[in-house]
Homo-oligomer: A and B are copies of this chain.
Amino acid sequence: MKIGIAQINAIVGDFPGNAKRILAAYRECIEKGAELVVTPEMALVGYPPMDLLFRASFVPKCLQALDYLADEIKDIPLVVGYVDKCPEEAVGKPFRNAAAFLCNGQIKHKTWKTLLPAYDVFDERRYFEPGNSFEPIEWKGVKIGITICEDIWTEDYLHRPLYKDDPALELSKQGIDLMLNLSASPYSMGKPEGRAAMLRKVAQEINAPLVYCNCIGGNDQLIFDGNSAAFDAEGLPLGSLAAFKEECLVINTSLKGDESHKLKPMDSAEECYNALVLGLRDYAQKCGFSKACLGLSGGIDSALTAVIAAEALGAENVHGLTMPSEYSSSGSVDHSIELANKLKMRCDSVPIKDAFRSVKAAMSPVFGDLPEDLTEENMQARIRGLFLMSLSNKTGRLLLTTGNKSELAVGYCTMYGDMCGGLAVISDLPKLQVYALSRWINRNEEIIPWDTIDKPPSAELRHDQKDQDTLPPYEVLDAILELYVEKHLSGAEIIKDHGFDENLVRWIQRRVNLNEWKRFQAAPGLRVSSKAFGMGRRMPLAQRFSD
């Protein structure tokens, strides 16, 4: 059977727009010869709609849009992801994560998602009642199993066996000729390859061709990478779709697959860069921004963020401010201007000296003879935040924050200072990955000044300050943070099993825990790791656990 895979970029809650996108892709697939077309999970809704689902008219509007779609579908079926309503009198959650089989102007069949993830960034048990029947549908003599995302994720790829049901197995027992999977599977580094390996294995296990349709696009913190694909009954690839781009592809599941159709793995830096560009572009566009601004410190974090922004929005739409203080090195301005020139983006220099002096003077009657301390460092960062927000307000630009994951972990950043902004572009990249990505950007020519990459990192908030006056070397910091934040190991285990210095580990733990309140108020950050700060990590603030 020739299946059209409609790898589209939906906008959450935009029912008319999403219906249009789906129909356009459906028609493109038909032109390419499709006999059936499949969309991603919740293609009509956008993923994740979160508590919009509870708005009284949200799901009714979704169902109207589904009816509209059904009217447009003739004899070539469309299998589309949407949200359905449970009967009023039913016990349990009010909604279903659903797929509809549309044909000849009708909704011929509905399928419910059975396995509802409730971990990391997923909250599907908050909204949905699980499905519990596993019936293939027959179309032109072909028995088709329809599953939604998690329904085919096997234990090997989850942390532990999470579910009692196995929808893929139940369907395959009934002798299906073809399995469709509608998915909204967010990106993390390395996931495209791991996912492809799993899909291959699923096709082998169910002994039937598998057509997997993932969505693409950035929705707030989540970036969906696409990478839809199809496999024959032996797990050989029948075709792969683009990463980080909309695409429609028709695949004949009656053919035999071969390795030439395999997903082409990207260089990990390239993959991550593409993810961030898409995440930023979509966040801006879907929120209605065409322009952005950011502070350029002359350091590597803001340089990388500027490059990503210029790629995502066009350099002419990105406006940088360099905001030197009395503690700034000459490099901080020079490197910023050099970068801006390379990128052809605007950069203005706005010194903070006078404002800093005014603020200190205003507060001095209150502070009396208390000595200068971290307060004055934070003041400078906050004056910069104030300047940037005023540029954002005055010119309608999205302000980007430029902090990295290592800083955010230990709170080496100023609340309402450098943390100001609507989107944190690289807040899920540990500092070492910031370096790696910056070097990859410079692989052919110098875009980020090499001096920026090579100089010792500094916040430049006091005389001759260096990050490493306060923080351990990033090689050590990032390694400990991975064990503590991503792997959840206790301090005792990190010290004992991994041989890191006790005082250092304890210091990092304390910093991570004490700075939970900063992350609570941080801008949404693009998620590119399997454990980002943000919606997938929910920590109490007032707590006293120590490990």
**Do A357 and B358 have beta carbons less than 8 Å apart?**
yes
Q: Does A160 contact B (CB under 8 A)?
A: yes
Q: How many residues of chain A are within 8 Å of chain B by beta carbon?
A: 98
The closest CB in chain B to the CB of A537 belongs to B51
Kindly state the separation between the CA atoms of A390 and B361 in the bound complex, as whole angstroms. Answer: 12
Q: Does A350 contact B (CB under 8 A)?
A: yes
Q: Which residues of B contact A522 (CB under 8 A)?
A: 521
Q: Number of copies of this chain in the oligomer?
A: 2
The interface stretch among A54-62, A263-271, A298-306 is A54-62
Q: Which residues of B contact A15 (CB under 8 A)?
A: 545
**Do A387 and B358 have beta carbons less than 8 Å apart?**
no
Q: Does A329 contact B (CB under 8 A)?
A: no
Q: Which residues of B contact A163 (CB under 8 A)?
A: 91-92
Q: Does A539 contact B (CB under 8 A)?
A: yes
Kindly state the separation between the CA atoms of A330 and B25 in the bound complex, as whole angstroms. Answer: 64
The interface stretch among A240-248, A370-378, A433-441 is A370-378
Q: Which residues of B contact A367 (CB under 8 A)?
A: 394
Q: Does A344 contact B (CB under 8 A)?
A: no
Q: Which residues of B contact A357 (CB under 8 A)?
A: 358
Kindly state the separation between the CA atoms of A94 and B187 in the bound complex, as whole angstroms. Answer: 25
Within 8 A of B (CB), among A377-406: 378-379, 382-383, 385-387, 389-391, 393-394
Q: A91-B164, A394-B373 are in contact. Are A354 and B365 (CB under 8 A)?
A: no
Q: Which residues of B contact A373 (CB under 8 A)?
A: 393-394
Q: Which residues of B contact A416 (CB under 8 A)?
A: 382, 385-386, 389, 416, 420
Q: Which residues of B contact A355 (CB under 8 A)?
A: 355, 358-359, 362
Kindly state the separation between the CA atoms of A52 and B49 in the bound complex, as whole angstroms. Answer: 26
**Do A386 and B390 have beta carbons less than 8 Å apart?**
no
Kindly state the separation between the CA atoms of A358 and B540 in the bound complex, as whole angstroms. Answer: 39
Q: Does A119 contact B (CB under 8 A)?
A: yes
Q: Which residues of B contact A541 (CB under 8 A)?
A: 220, 283, 287, 524
Fill in one digit per residue for A1-33: 1 if any B CB lies within 8 Å of its CB, else 0: 000000000011111010000000000000000
**Do B17 and A544 have beta carbons less than 8 Å apart?**
yes
**Do A523 and B521 have beta carbons less than 8 Å apart?**
yes
Q: Which residues of B contact A186 (CB under 8 A)?
A: none
Fill in one digit per residue for A87-123: 1 if any B CB lies within 8 Å of its CB, else 0: 0000111100000000000000000000000110001
**Do A547 and B57 have beta carbons less than 8 Å apart?**
yes
The interface stretch among A191-199, A204-212, A485-493 is A485-493
Q: Which residues of B contact A283 (CB under 8 A)?
A: 541-542
Q: Which of A11, A54, A162, A542 has the most CB atoms of chain B within a 10 A radius of its CB?
A: A542
Within 8 A of B (CB), among A334-371: 348, 350-352, 354-355, 357-359, 361-363, 365-367, 370
Kindly state the separation between the CA atoms of A126 and B123 in the bound complex, as whole angstroms. Answer: 8
Kindly state the separation between the CA atoms of A455 and B163 in the bound complex, as whole angstroms. Answer: 60
Q: Which residues of B contact A415 (CB under 8 A)?
A: 389, 420
Q: Which residues of B contact A547 (CB under 8 A)?
A: 55-58, 61
Within 8 A of B (CB), among A150-175: 160-164
A522–chain B nearest beta-carbon distance, Å: 7
Q: A91-B164, A547-B61 are in contact. Are A52 and B539 (CB under 8 A)?
A: yes
**Do A93 and B162 have beta carbons less than 8 Å apart?**
yes
Q: Does A48 contact B (CB under 8 A)?
A: yes
A97–chain B nearest beta-carbon distance, Å: 14
**Do B545 and A12 have beta carbons less than 8 Å apart?**
yes
The closest CB in chain B to the CB of A420 belongs to B416
Q: Which residues of B contact A11 (CB under 8 A)?
A: 542-544
Kindly state the separation between the CA atoms of A386 and B417 in the bound complex, as whole angstroms. Answer: 9
Kindly state the separation between the CA atoms of A466 and B56 in the bound complex, as whole angstroms. Answer: 34
Q: Which of A161, A218, A370, A539 has the most CB atoms of chain B within a 10 A radius of its CB?
A: A539
Q: Which residues of B contact A358 (CB under 8 A)?
A: 354-355, 357-359
Q: Does A46 contact B (CB under 8 A)?
A: yes
Q: Which of A49, A373, A383 has the most CB atoms of chain B within a 10 A radius of its CB?
A: A383
Q: A92-B162, A163-B92 are in contact. Are A543 and B362 (CB under 8 A)?
A: no
**Do A382 and B391 have beta carbons less than 8 Å apart?**
no
Q: Which residues of B contact A58 (CB under 8 A)?
A: 545, 547
Kindly state the separation between the CA atoms of A39 and B504 in the bound complex, as whole angstroms. Answer: 38
Q: Which residues of B contact A50 (CB under 8 A)?
A: 538-540
Q: Does A286 contact B (CB under 8 A)?
A: yes
- Sample (12) of A-B pairs whose CB atoms are under 8 Å apart: A13-B543, A50-B538, A51-B537, A55-B545, A56-B489, A58-B545, A61-B545, A118-B125, A123-B538, A350-B365, A358-B358, A359-B390
8 more A-B residue pairs beyond the given contacts A13-B546, A50-B539, A55-B488, with a C-beta to C-beta distance below 8 A = A11-B544, A51-B539, A52-B540, A92-B164, A94-B160, A386-B416, A422-B517, A521-B522
